[in-house]
Amino acid sequence: MTNTPNNIEIELRGEIEKTMQNSPLEFSQECMSELDLCWYKFKKSANEKELPSITVKNESSSLSIEKATSITMVIDKKTGNTIENLDITVRGLPDNSPHEKQKDFIYDLLKKIQSAGWSHYYYPGDPRISGSQIRKIPSPDNVLGHLTSSHPWLDPNYELDIDRWLKIESFYNWYFYNDGVYLTFKAWRRDSKDTPDKTGTYLLSMEFLSERDFWSSGFTKDEEKARWKELLPAQLKRDHEARIAAENNARAAGIEIDENYKDPVIKAIQ
C-alpha cells in the first residue's frame, strides 16, 4: 500500500527520515538536545470529517488503523534514528454511546489486530491464565491476590460480558507481540453522568514499542536503562519465579494454566 493523502505508512524500526519524506501528513518536530530525544507529532480533532488511516508495518506484518486523531513517534538519537516508539490515538464511537456498542467496537479492533498477525502476550511475571477461566476469578485486577497486568479478564481471545466489562474501573489494557515489537491496546472509559451504567465515552490508543524501548522502560534510572540488556536476565528470573508461585496457587484453586503459551524470544539477549 502506498501513501495517499489519507494514508501514511509507518515502518516500525525503520528510519524516521524515510517515513517523513514519504508522508502526505505534516508532522511537527520537537527536540530536546540535552536528552537527544525528538518527538514527531500529528494531531487532529476527533470532530474532523477526514481523518487519516495508518498502515503500521513490522517485518511481514501490516496493520491498517483507520481514523487516527494523533500520532507520536519518539526518536532516541543516542541509539539511532529508527522508529522504536509509536503511539496512535484512534477515533472511536461518539461520546456517551452505549457501553455495549463501545465494547463491540473495541473487540472488533482487537480481532483486526490479531488478524494482522499480532499474538496475545502475557507479562513474564503474570500467571498464564486465559480468558477461559474468568468465571473462577472474581477480581478484574488480581488473581488470588497476585496483581496481574495481563489479566485473564482482558484476554483478547475471550469477549467479556457487559457486567464484567463495567466492573473494570476505568482502564483496559490488552497486550500483543509480533516479531520483536510489543503492542499495548489501551481503552480509557468515562461513564456518562446521567446514565453511568448504560453509556460512556472511551479514549482508544495503541502503543508500539521495540524490544529496546519495551524492556528498558522497566528500569527507572538512566544508567540502568542504558544497561538493560545486562540487567534484564536477572529481572526475568525474578519475574519467572513470581509467575511460578502465582500459577501454583492458581492450580491449587482449580484454575487451569495455559501450558501451551511460551514467552516470545527476546532477540537482543539471545
Q: What is the DSSP string of the chain?
A: ---BTTEEEEETTSBHHHHHHH-SS--EEEEETTTTEEEEEEE--TT-S---EEEEEETTEEEEE-SEEEEEEEEETTT-SB--EEEEEE--SPTTEEHHHHHHHHHHHHHHHHHTT-EE---TTS----GGGGGG---SSEETTEE-SS-GGG-TTSPPPHHHHHHS-SEEEEEEEETTEEEEEEEEEEE-SS-TTTEEEEEEEEEEEEHHHHHHTT--SHHHHHTHHHHHHHHHHHHHHHHHHHHHHHHHTT----TT--PPP-GGG-
Residue 174 domain flag = yes
| Domain-embedded: residue 1 | no
Which range, of 79-93, 108-122, 157-171, 215-229, averages the lowest pLDDT? 215-229
The mean per-residue pLDDT over the stretch 160-167 comes to 97
Q: Is residue 268 part of a domain?
A: no
> What's the average model confidence in pLDDT over 91-97?
97
How far apart (Å, rounded) are the C-alpha atoms in residues 85 and 213?
7
Mean pLDDT of the chain: 94
72 in a domain, yes or no? yes
The total domain count for the chain is 1
Domain for residue 267, yes or no?
Answer: no
Residue 146 pLDDT > 70, yes or no? yes
Predicted pLDDT of residue 34: 84
Q: Is residue 123 part of a domain?
A: yes
pLDDT in tens, 241-267: 999 999 999 999 999 999 999 999 999
- Residue 113 belongs to some domain of the structure: yes
Domain range holding 118? 7-261
In a domain, 227, yes or no: yes
**pLDDT at residue number 204:** 98
Mean pLDDT of 215-228: 91
- Overall average pLDDT of the 8-33 stretch: 93
> 156: which 3 cell numbers?
483478547
pLDDT on residue 1: 44
C-alpha distance from residue 196 to each of 12, 98, 134, 171, 201 (Å): 39, 10, 24, 16, 10
Q: What is the mean pLDDT of residues 86-104?
A: 97
- Kindly state the average pLDDT of the residues 55-81: 93
Q: Residue range 202-225: average pLDDT?
A: 94
- The pLDDT value given to residue 270: 80
CA distance 65 to 110: 11
Instruction: Tell me the per-residue pLDDT of 176-199, one tens digit each, with 9 for 90 and over.
Output: 999 999 999 999 999 999 999 999
The count of C-alpha atoms lying within 13 angstroms of the C-alpha of 186, restricted to the half-sphere facing its C-beta, is 15
Average pLDDT of the segment spanning 41-57: 94
C-alpha cell read off for 267: 532477540
Q: Is the pLDDT of residue 4 over 80?
A: no
Give mean pLDDT, residues 211-219: 93
Comparing 29-33, 85-89, 193-197, 205-209, the range with the smallest average pLDDT is: 29-33
